[in-house]
Amino acid sequence: MASADAFKVSSLKDKVTLITGASSGIGAGTAVLFAKLGAKLALNGRNVENLAKIAKECEDCGTSKPLLVPGDMTDEKTVKKTVELTIAHFGRLDVLINSAGILALGTIETTDMAQYDHVMNVNVRSVYHLTHLCVPYLIKTKGSIVNVSSVNGQRSFPGVLAYCMSKSAIDQFTRCIALELAPKQVRANSVCPGVIVTEVHKRAGLDEEQYKQFLEKCSVTHALGRPGDVEEVAHAIAFLASDAATFITGVNLPVDGGRHAMCPR
C-alpha cells in the first residue's frame, strides 16, 4: 500500500481487533497487516503452534503483544470465552473479523449430513454466535465487522455444495446485520475472495498435483489470469474496517481477480 495515511487506513492504529482463523491463511495475513497498521489484536485459531508463530510475527511489526484466544469456534464455551477474555484484556472491541472457515468437497450425492452440519457449523453458526456476542461491545465503539466470504457465495460451482451454501449465507448475514446495526453506526461488510494461495484446498483433500493443476486453471477462470495472495485480501479487509470506508456498509466485496464477472463464451 503506497500510503496508508492517504487512505485513512492508519485509523486502525490502537483499534482493538478480534480476528478468528488467525493461525493460517487469510486470517493470519490479516493479523500481520493489522499489526503493521498498529492495531491491538486478539487472535483466535485452532492450531496453537501456528497461532503463536503469527503472534510473534505481529510483535515483530512493532505492535503490542497480541492476546491469544485459541480454540474451536464451533464450541459455544470457546466463543463466549473468546469474547470475555478480549473485553477483560482490552476493555473494548472496535473491529471483528470473522475469518475462520473450512472448505469441503462434495456434491448433493456425496455430501452426507455429518459433513453438511460440520461445514455449516464452522462457516455460519459460529460466525453468527460470535457476532451476536460481540455486537453489544461494537455498538459502544461504533465499530466495524468484516466477514470473510467467498466468490462461491455469489456464483454457483459444482462439487462444493455445502461450502457454496455456507458462503451465500454469510453474504446474506452480512447484508442483514448491516441494515440492523446501521442505526447504531456499526458497519458490516464481507470480502469475497476468489482462489487465494493458502492451504485450505489441500486440507479439503487436493493432493500436490491436483492443487498445482487447480492453480494453473486460474489463468482461465480468473479475468486477471492468476490466483490471488493472502495480502491482497488482507488489504481489502483493512480498507473496509478502517475510516477509509466510513460510508460503506452491507457490501459483499469481490477480491477475486474478476472471477465473479466471468461467464462461459
pLDDT the model gives residue 248: 98
**How far, in Å, CA of 154 to CA of 51, rounded?**
30
Regions of the chain with pLDDT less than 70: 1-9
pLDDT the model gives residue 7: 53
The residues, any chain, with a CB within 8 Å of residue 210's CB and separated by 6 or more, are none
Catalytic residues: 163
Mean pLDDT of the chain: 93
Name the pairing type of β-strands 95-98 and 16-19.
Answer: parallel
**How far, in Å, CA of 70 to CA of 131, rounded?**
17
- One-character DSSP codes across 40-59: EEEE--S-HHHHHHHHHHHH
**pTM score:** 0.93
Cell of 57: 510475527
CATH code for residues 8-197+230-258: 3.40.50.720
Give residue limits of the domains in the chain.
8-197+230-258
**How far, in Å, CA of 186 to CA of 142, rounded?**
5
Structural contact between residues 162 and 116, judged by C-beta atoms closer than 8 angstroms: yes
